Each structure stands twice: as C-alpha cells, then as structure tokens.
Amino acid sequence: MSLDVATLGHAAVTASFNHLRPCPHDGLERFSVTPMTHWVLMPPSPRLPEALLTTLTAGRARADRLTHTEHLPARDARHAPWPAGIRAEVIDAARELGVAQPWAHQSEAMQLAKNGQTVVIATGTASGKSLGYLAPVLSDLLTGTEASNGRGATALYLAPTKALAADQRRRAAELVPPRVRAALYDGDTPPEEREWVRQYASYVLTNPDMLHRGILPAHPRWASFLKALKYVVVDECHSYRGVFGSHVAQVLRRLRRLCARYGSEPTFLLASATTADPAATARRLTGLPAVAVTEDASPRGPLVFALWEPPLTENVGEHGAPVRRTATAEAGYLLTELVQQNTRTVVFVRSRWAAELVALQAQDQLGSPLGSRVAAYRGGYLAEERRAIERDLHSGRLLGLASTSALELGVDVSGLDAVLMAGYPGTRASLWQQAGRAGREGQGALAVLIARDDPLDTYLVHHPEALFATPVEATVLDPDNPHVLAPHLCAAAAELPLTDADLDLFGPSTAQLLPVLEQRGLLRRRSDGGWYWTRRERAADSVDLRGSGGSPVQIVEVETGRLLGTVDAAAAHTTVHSGAVHLHQGRTYLVRDLDLETSVALVERADPPYTTSARDITSISVLTTDETVEWGEARLSFGSVEVVNQVVGYLRKRIATGEIMGETKLDLPPRTLRTRAVWWSVTEEQLADAEIPFDLLPGAAHAAEHASIGLLPLFATCDRWDIGGVSVPLHPDTLLPTVFVYDGHSGGAGFAERGYRRAEQWLGATRDAIAACECARGCPSCVQSPKCGNGNDPLDKAAAVRLLDALLAGAPGGPGRASSDGGRAR
Ligand SMILES: [Zn+2]
Ligand SMILES: [Zn+2]
C-alpha cells in the first residue's frame, strides 16, 4: 500500500519518516510502511523542540541571539462526512490510504466543487488540499468513463513546475482505477505519446507554459478534450504572482474563451498556500467569482518558532559600518549542531549561492562521516542531480539539506524535525509554507527564522507581532498590464478571431489596445468585425510567461564544455558578468567571459577568497502620472516611468568579512525598462524645517529609498529583488527632491501600485525600521542595500529619519506619528 504523507491522510501522517523506504514498484518517489528492522542507517531520533532550542542557545553566549520564542499549540483534527456525489471507488481508495473521513475543509471544498462553484482552498502545508480537489474531479471523471465514447468528462491540472505535475499524477493514480486515464503533457512528453493523450486521456496534467504554447494554439486537435472539460485545477496558485501571475491570468482567460466556443464551462478549483484574501486573488487569476475555503481542520503537532538575530562581528563593511554575521554563516552553525543531534533538518535560503555555502560550511564543521549526510539543493540543478538528493532525503541517508525555495515546488518534503530559514523568505505566506515542513501529528518540531543583515529582517525579529499577529499578505498580480495583455490578445486572435464579445473577458485595457496592435501590423480588423492575427509566425511564441525577457544565459564550464545551469537574461549583467564569482554544487567558478550575442557565460574553476557585487548607474524619467495625492506640502504619485540601467563595474568583497578588496570596471550596454513606479517628493521648505541642508539631501533620500525598498515586501508579495529604486536631489520631471520605487519588470507587476495604496503604512514602517536600528551611522540592517549600484554611498541615516518624518507629517494619519518609535508600522 502506498502512502502520501504530505497531502492525503491523517493515518498516513502518523507513519513517520523512520518507517519509510522507497516503494519497490517504482523506486524513487513512493514510499511504503515497512518495519524498522529493515533500516540500515541509524534513523533520526526526534527530540523535543524545546530541548533542541536549549542546545542551540547553550554555550558560546548564544542566548541573546534568540530575540523571541513563539509556542504554536497543537491543533486537533475536525472531520466531516464525504459529500454526496463523491464516488464509492474514490472513497474506498482513500480509505485504503488511511483516510476514513475527510477533514472539514476538504469536505467543504468537495461540496463547492460538486456545485460547480469556483473555489480556492487556502490552507496550510500538509493539510490535504490535493484530496479536496481530487475527490470531486476523479468522481466526475469516473462517471465520464461510462459515456459512450469512454470520455464523457475531462479535467486539466496545472502546476507551476513539471516536477509537481509528475508528483500529482502519482497521487491521482493512487485514488482511482486505471480506467480514468491520467497523463502528463509537457515538454518531455514524447511526440508519439502526445497524440494518445489528446485522444484518450481524461485527466491531463501540465503547466501554464505548455497550455500557452502547446495546447491552446493547437486547440482543434484538443477539440474533444476541451468540449468535455469539466474541471480546471490550478495548484500552488499563490506562485502565480507578479508578471508571471499576470501572464497566467491571461492564459486562463484564453482557455475559458476556447472552452466557451466548444460548449464547455469548466469549474476552476484552486489550491493556495495561506494568503490574505485568496478569493480576490482567485478572481483576478481566473476572472471568475470565487469562494475561499480557509479554515484548516487538519491536525498539527506543537511548533516552537524561534526568531534569531546573528551577532555583530568585529568586521567593518562599507564606510566603516558594523557587520553582523551573515544569516547563511549562522545557519551553517545551527545546521551543524542539529545534524549532530541526529535531527532531520532543512535550511531554506534565499539564493543558490547561500545553499551552496551553508552546505559547505556544515560539511566542513561536521567532518567525516557525518558531513557526507549534508547536501545542497536548488533549482537549476539537472534533473538527475535533484532526484538523487530528493531520494536521499526521503530515505534518511541525508540528515541536513540546504535548499532554495525550489524545494517548495514539486518535491514532497514534510514531517521534518526542524526547519531553519536563513533570511525571511519574502512573504509571510512563504514563511508559513516553509515552517510547515516541520512537524507531524503528535510530535513537536522546531522552526527558526535567522535574520539577514537587512532592514526587513531586522524589523521582523524585533517585531514578532508582524509575523505572528498579522494576516499573511495578498498575492499581487496585474493582468491589466498592457505589456502582458498585448501578446495574449495576439495569441487569442491567432487561436480564434477576437470579437467585441471578447472585450469584457480580457479586461478594460483591451478596447484601446486592439487598434494599437493593428497599427503595429500584428492584428487586422476584417469587415466581419473580427480581429485577425496576420503574421506567419506563431503568436504564442512571442511571449515567455516567466517574464524574464530574452533567452536565459547558459553557464558553460570552459575546460569540459559542460552546461552547469542557466540564469535569467535580466539578471545576467549583474550576476555572470566577466570576473563574477559563480558557485555550483559547492564548487567555485570565475566567469571568464559573458557573451551577450550567444547568451553564454564561460566559467572556469577557481578558488578566490572573495565574492563579487555589481555596480551600476540608473536614471529614471516620468512618462505619465496616473494618480497623485497631497500629503500637506509633500506629494505622492503613481504612474509609468522609463528606467535606464547600466552595469559599469563590480566590487570584490572578502568572503569572511565582507571587506572591500577592490573594484573593476566593466563595459556592458545599458538596459531600458518601461515600468510602473510610486514616487514622492518634498519641498525646499520642508527640507529646511527638517534641518536637511542640500549637502545632506542625497544621503537622506538615498537611505530612505534603500530602506523603503527593503520594507515594501511586508505589504506586497514581492521581494526586494523584484523592485528597484532611484533617489534624485532635484529631479527634472518633478523639479523637487524625489524618491522613486519601481517594479523591476516591463509594464509593472503591481508591487509599486501596492506601495502607493499602502503608502502611509509602508513609509511609516520604513521610518520606524531605520530609527530602531542600533547602529550609529547606517548598516545593512537599516539603510545599506546589498544591491546598491552605488556602493552604498552616500547614506545619511539620521537625515533619512527626519526626511521621512517631514513626508509623513502631512499624511492622513497625521503629525504625531513621527514621535513613535517602532511598533506602529503595521
Ligand atoms: Zn543600522
Ligand atoms: Zn543605493
């Protein structure tokens, strides 16, 4: 009997990893319960989380690094009956898997789905969301097999990654007899199999990219599938945010339009991590009114959640600022101790770099043989490398794993004893998703958030209420972005000519965009009133949903010609320029050459004692001002801008200390970005009142800009790398000192708009974060930025607080807030 610990059943959850080993049928990914005597390695021995935490804080004066401990109580399961319409075969199969009765939230979702209601299940990790949508879907597909053609109903499943779709196919196979034909359809599906899938499969599992490029443009070949389409499952839908989410929203509208032409109207079932207002996000994503199921009725063991701030070191960074030990170094220490305690631990880090570094450090400190039970995992590894690592973690051969969030998608790792997060993962939604990997029923677990040296993390470990007493943030996407919408209108017109009846479906910008597309020679309006695609090439090929723009840069090892991985075109200038340090599987490489023509970065093995960080220059101009609000004399605006950025060189920083070793010039072309921005300006009188003379102004505005970029992710599901900023003492468009924060994607992603809508809370938190930092003159925890293209110069922390006070004094919340010190920031 196969079990799925993560998503199906409660009985399954009580079978701990200690008892799991690969199922003999297919080797890797399924697990069966076997007696412990079959075990060859020493199994992890879970200890009470309080005891683990005591170990971590003992000795070496570590106690003051613990800034807060939150005890999250265990939660009991609540069950509900199977709703009418769930077939006996499905119920029996679930019972086989240990699910006697669904949890209440699963039952509610099944009922809504059976009623044809668009529903989004937004509950925690391992709360059985899969069963919630699979039971109604598979029941209806089973009924469909009784139709004369054997395919009376079909369903489409969308996952953000191929790996997750593969995982889901296995889950479906466990719940239904083989006569419901489930099949993967993605870039790896062999051509001879594709025809079979189109003709016979009733449950097709794919990803939005394949739907966009492979299925919708070829819809006549999918006619019988689309005609019978009863359900569309959108799994992990919180990952459809920003530009990517906006693209996916338009792909789903194209799907709905084609279904309507074939006479079907599928019910959309969405599964999400816990987010604020999931119903609104589901509506934005699908264009349909949606009901949210948010009350999690699955059981949970107690979780001890610790907030941890690494100590200041003796080292000094840029401009003499004090430097904290990095979150990755601290995570390496904590991982070492936990592995020594025989505790199965995953460390989540924010970058590929950090994953490699944490694993290396723990391996070093543990020595042989324990060191060999720690590894790194991240997206960008080749499939075989990833599979081997996953297998070892499941089998228990691996005790410690340092991973980017790649692990969140498509890999089933739950029931861990401890989760470390080296740096805030950017959103509370991801924080809870990562922490949710720790713990299983009836047993406590430990989660530790280790602060990075930046304003947001510092703010959070000193304001636990911002994590534990604040609802998770909303998933932000903007399907109306014309840069996103335009290519989908072309793709839609190529699928079936657009008519006036389609205008509503694609949103309010559609009517203005169509004539523009006609002027550009992309669409042509014929006498029947329809808009037609006129080009020979495929319209769908003109857009990449992942929104990176341009083909990814391949990283190739000079000596062997081996492909190590890829980076996005947008990130290439800053991460794989000539001379950059690149890490792969614990090995260090130097970039010998970045060839922009062929999109190849040639790297060679090296062991430099430094990391590199790019320096750039940025200019910004206002194209349109869409909205403005006056805060007393100050003004806050939202609109469109053009940003021109050029990477001009890089700094070498010593690994251990962050100390600057030198700077090298680069000759790379400028890149232009048209996007959306929020900006604010103050008057000369306000500056005079705030005692900010002109020579202090650049440092004040620059520091306020950095910190505000750091804090925006508290209000929108972005991270600081999704947004950029520019501060100008006298901007030619506003004729005033102005600070801009912009979306780092063409056409915008909704983040700057969110900053504009929540400006008072956002800039208030920014002001409080700077004021509360214990450093004297600015440090990475407040106003220094790791991505500053100016080497963090000039920065004036004290003047930045006065500048923000001057700005906020006229905000609706009014004067007086300026005297607050922290705390008010939410
Ligand atoms: Zn500071
Ligand atoms: Zn800067």
Task: Measure Cα distances from 536 to 216, 521, 522, 541, 606 in Å.
Answer: 17, 12, 10, 12, 48
Residue type, 8: L
Supply the pLDDT for residue 415: 67
10 Å Cβ neighbour count for 557? 16
Supply the pLDDT for residue 511: 92
Check pLDDT > 70 for residue 39. no
More confident residue, 549 or 442: 442
In tens, the pLDDT along 51-75 reads 888 888 886 567 789 999 999 988 8
Q: How far is the CA of 623 from the centre of ligand 2 (A)?
A: 23
Supply the pLDDT for residue 460: 87
Phi and psi, residue 141, nearest 5°: -70, -40
Question: Which stretch of 3-7, 430-434, 595-599 has the lowest confidence by average pLDDT?
Answer: 3-7
- Give every CB contact of residue 531 below 8 A, 6+ residues apart in sequence: 489, 493, 497, 498, 499, 514, 517, 518, 523, 524, 525
Average pLDDT, the chain: 84
Q: How far is the CA of 132 from the centre of ligand 1 (A)?
A: 47
Q: How far is the CA of 790 from the centre of ligand 2 (A)?
A: 5
Q: How far is the CA of 116 from the centre of ligand 2 (A)?
A: 51
Q: How far is the CA of 755 from the centre of ligand 2 (A)?
A: 19
Check pLDDT > 90 for residue 693. yes
In tens, the pLDDT along 364-421 reads 999 988 999 998 886 666 666 766 777 787 777 889 999 887 655 445 566 688 999 9
Q: How far is the CA of 447 from the centre of ligand 1 (A)?
A: 26
Average pLDDT over residues 458-474: 79
Check pLDDT > 50 for residue 112. yes
Q: How far is the CA of 792 from the centre of ligand 2 (A)?
A: 5
Check pLDDT > 60 for residue 134. yes
Supply the pLDDT for residue 817: 44
Ligand nearest to the CA of 785: 2
Q: How far is the CA of 173 from the centre of ligand 2 (A)?
A: 52
Distance in angstroms (rounded) separating the CA atoms of residues 75 and 416: 18
Which band of pLDDT confidence, cut at 50, 70 and 90, is reported for residue 440?
A: low
Ligand nearest to the CA of 795: 2
Q: CA quadruple 158, 159, 160, 166: dihedral positive or negative? A: negative
Q: How far is the CA of 500 from the centre of ligand 2 (A)?
A: 47
In the structure encoding, which two tokens stand for residue 253, read together?
A: 């509208």
Q: How far is the CA of 195 from the centre of ligand 1 (A)?
A: 60
Ligand nearest to the CA of 455: 1
Q: How far is the CA of 330 from the centre of ligand 1 (A)?
A: 19
Q: How far is the CA of 781 from the centre of ligand 1 (A)?
A: 5
Q: How far is the CA of 783 from the centre of ligand 2 (A)?
A: 9
Q: How far is the CA of 646 from the centre of ligand 1 (A)?
A: 28
Q: How far is the CA of 711 from the centre of ligand 2 (A)?
A: 15
Q: How far is the CA of 576 from the centre of ligand 2 (A)?
A: 20
What share of residues in the chain are helix, strand, coil (percent, to 5)? 40, 25, 40
Q: How far is the CA of 43 from the centre of ligand 1 (A)?
A: 44
CB 359 within 8 A of CB 375: yes
Ligand nearest to the CA of 699: 2
Q: How far is the CA of 458 from the centre of ligand 2 (A)?
A: 19
Q: How far is the CA of 460 from the centre of ligand 1 (A)?
A: 14
In tens, the pLDDT along 262-316 reads 999 999 999 998 877 899 889 999 999 999 999 999 888 889 999 999 988 777 7
Average pLDDT over residues 181-196: 92
Q: How far is the CA of 597 from the centre of ligand 2 (A)?
A: 29
Q: How far is the CA of 320 from the centre of ligand 1 (A)?
A: 12
Distance in angstroms (rounded) separating the CA atoms of residues 553 and 570: 9
SS3 802: helix
Q: How far is the CA of 68 from the centre of ligand 1 (A)?
A: 20
Q: How far is the CA of 483 from the centre of ligand 2 (A)?
A: 28
Check pLDDT > 60 for residue 18. no
Q: How far is the CA of 571 from the centre of ligand 1 (A)?
A: 28
Supply the pLDDT for residue 47: 66
Q: How far is the CA of 313 from the centre of ligand 1 (A)?
A: 14
In the structure encoding, which two tokens stand for residue 194, read together?
A: 């594709």
Q: How far is the CA of 357 from the centre of ligand 2 (A)?
A: 26
Q: How far is the CA of 799 from the centre of ligand 1 (A)?
A: 13
In tens, the pLDDT along 781-824 reads 889 887 787 878 899 999 999 999 999 999 987 554 433 333 33
Supply the pLDDT for residue 34: 28
CB 483 within 8 A of CB 747: yes
CB 293 within 8 A of CB 83: no
Q: How far is the CA of 508 from the centre of ligand 2 (A)?
A: 37
Check pLDDT > 50 for residue 560. yes
More confident residue, 98 or 317: 98
Ligand nearest to the CA of 613: 2
Q: How far is the CA of 403 from the centre of ligand 1 (A)?
A: 28
Q: How far is the CA of 379 from the centre of ligand 1 (A)?
A: 32
Supply the pLDDT for residue 825: 32
Ligand nearest to the CA of 617: 2
Q: How far is the CA of 595 from the centre of ligand 1 (A)?
A: 39
Q: How far is the CA of 473 from the centre of ligand 2 (A)?
A: 26
Distance in angstroms (rounded) separating the CA atoms of residues 770 and 772: 6
In the structure encoding, which two tokens stand for residue 143, read together?
A: 């009924």
In tens, the pLDDT along 568-624 reads 777 788 889 999 998 776 678 999 999 988 889 999 999 898 888 888 889 999 999
Q: How far is the CA of 791 from the centre of ligand 2 (A)?
A: 7
Q: How far is the CA of 503 from the centre of ligand 1 (A)?
A: 51
73: preceding bond cis by omega (within 30 degrees): no
Average pLDDT over residues 463-492: 81
Ligand nearest to the CA of 708: 2
Ligand nearest to the CA of 726: 2
- Give every CB contact of residue 263 below 8 A, 6+ residues apart in sequence: 227
Supply the pLDDT for residue 414: 65
